[in-house]
Structure 1
Amino acid sequence: LDLSVIERFRSNRRVNDFAFFCLVAAYCVLIVVGTIGNSLVVYVVARQPAMRTARNVFVVNLAISDLLLCLITMPLTLMEIRSYTWPLGNAPVSCKMVGSLQAVSIFVSTLSITAIALDRYQLIVYPTKRSFQLTGALLALGGIWVLGIVLALPLFIVRTLEHHDIPIPNSPITSVDYCLEEWPNERGRSLYSIGSILVQYALPIITVSVAHARISNKLQTAGQSAVAVSRTELNAAATDCRTAAREEKLRKTNTLLIAISIIFTICWLPMNTFNVVEDTWNVFGDDTETMLIVYAVCHMVGMSSACANPLLYGWLNDNFRKEFRRI
């Protein structure tokens, strides 16, 4: 066995030290910011009984799934980017669980965003219909987690650990382990990537965008009706004040809805594009280091949603903001 090969396995580095240092620094920023923001959202709802509404249950679920992204997905991704071999030893379940947990947290996060959009849509566009009660919201969350687990199940099935002994006297490396994906056919991985994009990206984008467009249209129509009524009942000065306040609130709501749709689209586009391109055409060939660096950058853009979500769904909500200031 070539000594350079032994040295490569001993160093166990798939990317150069400088690139890995930059990746660690960037991931650490995302982990710290995302963990603090999402922890505050969970803490506020747990601390204040008045915040424990059916609507906020969806926001808390999003925060919990984003905490999983910060505390599990990001560190494990760094670990896999760094190592040629499986660093957790000859434990097959660890190989299966790591990939599955990452997929579950991503699926649950995006499904939670979709659920929040649908909940707001039902509340504003059809206000006379009975909305979610706390029990119903909890059942819906259970369904989200079950669906997330089912969608990640193929990864649990196909990921397998290969153990190889290295029978070389006085070698610093006695064995190596590889965590691999063994799909039943060569197109299995690309088909799973395409299916994941449809469920985790395309469908949520369409749902969130349509729901927010309908909400914006409903608020605009309701605002115009309210102004017409006010002009028949109030003097001009009072009407102008109320109209200005209503228009300002409508503007903020529309801006927030647009921001949610745009940020979701931007955050997850690079990662999903990378998965389809790499799984289908293998554009990087044998250049593993470049592929891993590009993958890490795309992955970090996706993970930045875990930092943006507390801002969009928590800090920009008046009730959440009041509770944050009390902490």
Structure 2
Amino acid sequence: MASPIFIIQSIVGIVGILGNSLVCFVIWRTPAMHTLTNAFIFNQATVDILGSIFMFLISVVPVPKILPPGTAGVLLCRIWVSNYPLWACYITSSINLVALTFERYLAIVYPFKFQKVCHRLGATIVIVFVWVVGFSIALYAAEIFRYREGHCVQFFDPKLRVVGIMIPGFQYFFPVVSMLVAYIHITVELKRSAQRLARIMGPNVAGAGRPGQAPESADESLLRARRNTFKTLLIVFIAYVACWTLNSSLLLAATLGLPSAPDSPLLIISVALVATNSAINPIIYALKYKQFQKGLRMLFPCRGIEGTNSVRPSTIATGLSVGNPGV
């Protein structure tokens, strides 16, 4: 009988594959979404697709109790039994979320510097860096497993324990602290921008563009787009913290030598939460990200809703070109 964690991983793996594939498809097929921000979101979804695939395969592909001898057994132990590909995707996803957050941070807090330093080549370099660092840090997962006479066993020595203490820092604590500081600063800057715009446009700026009121100005549209993207990514960040806090704490405790059972309810819950994080982002985009919603309606128009088919690319292209700090 399959264990609860394997059932959860199978279900979440399938949902993650389908949901993140949809995110990639919508961004790829919608020219107005070809922005720096969406390049990082596309990369995030790509990493989560791979993570969901590995998660599903791990839950359905049985590992023999006695591993084959020689190189095959060593590779199976160090790469597959250790879950190295899965943890590499998880860590890469975490680092990419930091890169995505600071792309928005520069665009909103330092828009003029953003226009100078943020471009396609720079984004490509950062994305490649994210993959290299993520898969390099995850080598720790492979290093703590050893092949011993047909079995794959965990192995710790003092040096590995020191490195193991650093892994939760790179994977969780540093991303959380850095993103939290960035989001606080972004919140302050958005409030200042709203106050400056209110002084220029009048106290009813927040309601502009609604039925019976004057259309939004370019500055108002820009501020609204910034707020929506910020709120979406803030929810993604909160979901990341909620899904990763327990597992990272347990990993740190295990690395410090505290006893932990592989089938303990707390560990099962923590792994289930981590698995859920790979599938939850597409749901957040569908519910909160206006640009994604419009792109989705353009690709899959609902004829039963009046006005849905009238959405034109120009309505979401304003201020959204690559390198524009407005989104």
> Where on the TM-score scale, by shorter chain, does this alignment land: which range?
0.7 to 0.9
For normalisation by structure 1, the TM-score amounts to 0.75
Q: CA, structure 1 residues 312+210, in 2 after alignment: closer, same or farther (shift >3 Å)?
A: farther
Q: CA, structure 1 residues 61+213, in 2 after alignment: closer, same or farther (shift >3 Å)?
A: same
Distance 2:45 2:232 in 1: 18
Contact 2:26–2:296 under 8 Å retained in 1: yes
Contact 1:58–1:116 under 8 Å retained in 2: yes
Amino-acid identity (%)? 20
Contact 2:244–2:273 under 8 Å retained in 1: yes
Q: CA, structure 1 residues 274+257, in 2 after alignment: closer, same or farther (shift >3 Å)?
A: same
AA aligned to 1:182 is F
Show the counterpart of 2:100: 116
- 4+ residue runs of structure 1 moved beyond 4 angstroms? 86-90, 243-255
For the pair shown, the structure with the greater C-alpha radius of gyration is 1
Distance 1:280 1:271 in 2: 14
Show the counterpart of 1:196: 167
State the Cα distance separating 1:149 from its structure 2 match. 2.1
State the Cα distance separating 1:95 from its structure 2 match. 2.0
Question: RMSD over aligned Cα, in angstroms?
Answer: 3.0
Distance 1:250 1:41 in 2: 20
For normalisation by structure 2, the TM-score amounts to 0.75
Count of aligned residue pairs for this structure pair: 283
Distance 1:271 1:250 in 2: 32
State the Cα distance separating 1:83 from its structure 2 match. 6.2
SS of the equivalent of 2:138 reads: helix
Larger mean Cα displacement after TM superposition, 245-254 or 215-224: 245-254
Q: CA, structure 1 residues 105+92, in 2 after alignment: closer, same or farther (shift >3 Å)?
A: same
Show the counterpart of 1:302: 274
Matches within 5 A, 1:157-168: 157-163=143-149
AA aligned to 1:309 is N
Matches within 5 A, 1:38-57: 38-57=20-39
SS of the equivalent of 2:259 reads: coil
State the Cα distance separating 1:39 from its structure 2 match. 0.4
Show the counterpart of 1:324: 296
Distance 1:312 1:305 in 2: 11
1:90-141: CA deviation from partner (whole Å, max 9, x where unpaired): 5322222223212211110000110010000000111111252122111111
Distance 1:256 1:50 in 2: 18
SS of the equivalent of 2:112 reads: coil
Distance 1:263 1:194 in 2: 24
Asked if residue 141 in structure 1 is aligned to residue 127 in structure 2, the reply is: yes
Counterpart among 262, 283, 288 of residue 259 in structure 2: 283
State the Cα distance separating 1:251 from its structure 2 match. 7.1
Report 1 or 2 for greater relative contact order, CA contacts < 8 Å, sequence distance ≥ 6. Answer: 2
Show the counterpart of 1:85: 65
Q: CA, structure 1 residues 91+211, in 2 after alignment: closer, same or farther (shift >3 Å)?
A: same
AA aligned to 2:100 is I
SS of the equivalent of 1:180 reads: strand
Distance 1:41 1:250 in 2: 20
